[in-house]
Amino acid sequence: MIGVPLDKLREACGVVAVYSESAAAPLAHRALFELQHRGQEAAGIASSGADGALHVEKGEGLITEGLPFRRVEDMPGTRAVGHCRYSTVGREKNVQPFVANTPYGQLALAHNGNIKNAAELRTDLQAQGSLVATSLDTELLVHLIARSQAPDFPGALRYMADLAIGAYSLTMLCNGTLYALRDPNGLRPLVLGEMKGGWVIASETCALDVLHADYVREIEPGELVTIGPDGVTASQLLPRAEPSPCIFELVYFSRPNSTAFGQSVNGARIRMGMELADADAASGAPPADIVIPVPDSGVPAAIGYSRRSGVLYEKAILRSHYVGRTFILPDQDSRMAQVELKLSVIKEAVRGKRVILVDDSIVRGNTSRQIVQMVRDAGAAAVMMRIASPPLAWPCYLGIDMPDRDELVINRAGSVERVADLIGVDDLRYLSVAG
């Protein structure tokens, strides 16, 4: 996929909501472009006016492919919600926002996260007579809302949250009013911004920037934000639990020009690189001549490592932006061929040098091994690797597309030293948990 390395974690979704004086769907479309890194397999937008009648456009693929601007430019309504996602099942009915008729009006709901007890909820809802038409856990949330018998929509959301266990950052459009709700642990980010004549809610602040919206604040865990003709109101709909923001938002998922959980993403990644350099200095790590980022996720940490250590920063691995996202990967040879199409090494920069490669994480290790070999083939005298996060030993299913535990390289190898052997580096060090 364009911009997504073969052996990386994948954020499952991005959400947006827009309330404006003019047509909201084109604005939501622009915001989704800024969230494309969070989901490249499908996108959708639902819009309405004050009457609450929904207009919906969805498509599979990148936004340019499945949801081009010509499909949204004439969508009516000054309110809109949008969604982009990974891991669709290949059917357009599985593309969000999920739209349904409810006792509270027509509802469009976009969800970033994952419901841990989805299987149990599905069984219970079907036993009660609900017709569950998709594989989405998002549909289950809508069924819970519709069956709640609460006197109002916020009450229905409270009922839903009492039964659904997991991570959710939701943007919703119901009966002409926008809503946003974050789970009590605040696992996935959600931010509020104000623009001229309106408001924006999004998974990341980069989506606010493209609409020239000013960042107002992060939506709090368990908080319900409502946007209507009278402006913005907020209430603590759900009791706050222990905050559990996903650290991989800072490590990998969020765009460098975003702010996540009150921190500059780029700044946090640079500091991670500095911590790696400090740890190397304290432990007497082998010397290096150049530090090279694995593009593009390793760039900020490599900059931080270079700044702190004084080792020369070289952007000696280049990434092609033109490898097609539909490239078929039937076997290991094909996967290796795609890495070689995506990445190339500047031989003159690495020949005879002791190289430190910096990346944000190692998942399965296959791509790391191939990159290391490419650097060796280019003439490097030694290849070391620094990872700007601790070893990834346990999968997370709360909104991340992640391999099973036995696929993670640290578990297959059993130790960091053995991982180093598997990927072919002379020295491998991870950021400590404290770092």
Which of 298, 303, 312 minimizes the C-alpha distance to 274?
A: 303
Residue 136 lies in a domain: yes
CATH number of residue 61's parent domain: 3.60.20.10
Final residue of a structural domain among 234, 260, 286: 260
Distance CA 60, CA 40 (A): 9
pLDDT, residue 326, reads 35
Residue 89: pLDDT band (50, 70, 90) is very low
What's the start-to-end Cα distance of the chain, in Å?
31
Q: How far is CA 185 from CA 88, 142, 148, 216, in A?
A: 26, 21, 23, 20
Domain shared by 274 and 255, yes or no: no
Interatomic CA distance for residues 343 and 254, integer angstroms: 22
Which of 237, 260, 283 corresponds to the end of one domain? 260
Quick one: 160 and 29 in the same domain? yes
Mean pLDDT of 300-305: 98
Is 1 domain-assigned? no
- The answer to which of 111-125, 312-326, 377-391 has the lowest mean pLDDT is 312-326
Q: What's the rounded Cα separation, in Å, for the pair 100 and 98?
A: 7
Six token digits for residue 250: 């800072």
Could you tell me if 192 and 31 are in contact, meaning their C-beta atoms sit under 8 angstroms apart? Answer: no
Residues 215 and 364 in one domain: no
Residue in the structure block whose two tokens are 């490419």: 374
Say if CB 379 and CB 347 are below 8 A apart: yes
Instruction: Assess if residue 323 is contained within a domain.
Output: yes
Catalytic residue among 13, 84, 174, 206: 13
The larger pLDDT score, comparing residue 248 to residue 389, is at 389
Tens-place pLDDT, residues 24-50: 999 999 999 999 999 888 999 999 999
Angstrom distance (rounded) from CA 383 to CA 311: 14
For residues 174-191, b (16+ Cβ closer than 10 Å) or e, as one string?
A: bbbbbbbbbbbbbbbbbb
Mean pLDDT over 285-310 rounds to: 97
Residues 159, 143: Cα–Cα separation, whole Å = 11
Same domain, 245 and 314: no
pLDDT, tens only, 212-239: 999 999 999 999 999 999 999 999 999 9
How does DSSP classify residue 129? Answer: T
Residue 417: phi and psi, rounded to 5, are: -60, -40
Residues 73 and 154 in one domain: yes
Query: Does residue 125 lie in a domain region?
Result: yes
> 211 and 82 in one domain?
yes
Which of 128-137, 210-219, 358-367 has the highest mean predicted lDDT (pLDDT)?
210-219
What is the rounded distance in angstroms from the CA atom of residue 303 to the CA atom of residue 428?
A: 18
Mean pLDDT of 157-179: 97
Q: Which pTM does this prediction carry?
A: 0.88
| Residue 9 pLDDT > 60 | no
If asked whether residues 99 and 146 sit together in one domain, one would say yes
What is the residue-averaged pLDDT of the chain? 90
Q: Say if residues 25 and 72 touch (Cβ distance below 8 Å).
A: yes
User: Do 173 and 70 fall into the same domain?
Assistant: yes
Q: How many Cα atoms occupy the beta-carbon half-sphere of 90 within 13 Å? A: 0
Last residue of a domain, one of 231, 260, 289: 260
- Give the least confident one: 86-95, 276-285, 321-330: 321-330
The secondary structure element, H or E, covering residue 215 is: strand 214-218
Active site residue 13: yes
* Residue pointed to by tokens 């030293």: 417
Residues 309 and 253 in one domain: no
CATH of the domain at 392: 3.40.50.2020
Report the domain count for the chain: 2
- Residue bearing tokens 């459009």: 173
With 90 as the cut, is the pLDDT of residue 402 above it? no
229 plus 306 within the same structural domain: no
pLDDT, residue 7, reads 57
CA 232 – CA 262 distance, rounded (Å) = 21
> Residue 246 contacts by C-beta under 8 Å, 6 or more apart in sequence?
167, 187, 188, 253, 396, 398, 399, 400
With a CB cutoff of 8 Å and minimum separation 6, the contacts of 417 are 428
Q: Is residue 249 domain-shared with residue 284, that is, in the same domain?
A: no
Between CA 135 and CA 404 the distance in angstroms is 20
Handedness of CA 248, 250, 255, 258 (dihedral sign): positive
- Are 237 and 340 part of one and the same domain? no
48 lies in some domain: yes
CB 92 within 8 A of CB 103: no
Q: Is residue 5 part of a domain?
A: no
The two structure tokens encoding residue 78: 């000054």
Contact 248/395 with Cβ under 8 angstroms? no
Q: How confident is the model at residue 333 (pLDDT cuts 50, 70, 90)?
A: low
Task: Please check whether residue 255 lies inside any domain of the structure.
Answer: yes
Position 3 in a domain: no
| Cα→Cα distances 109→84, 170, 296, 312, 418, Å | 12, 7, 32, 48, 45
Per the structure, the complete domain to which residue 333 belongs is given by 264-430
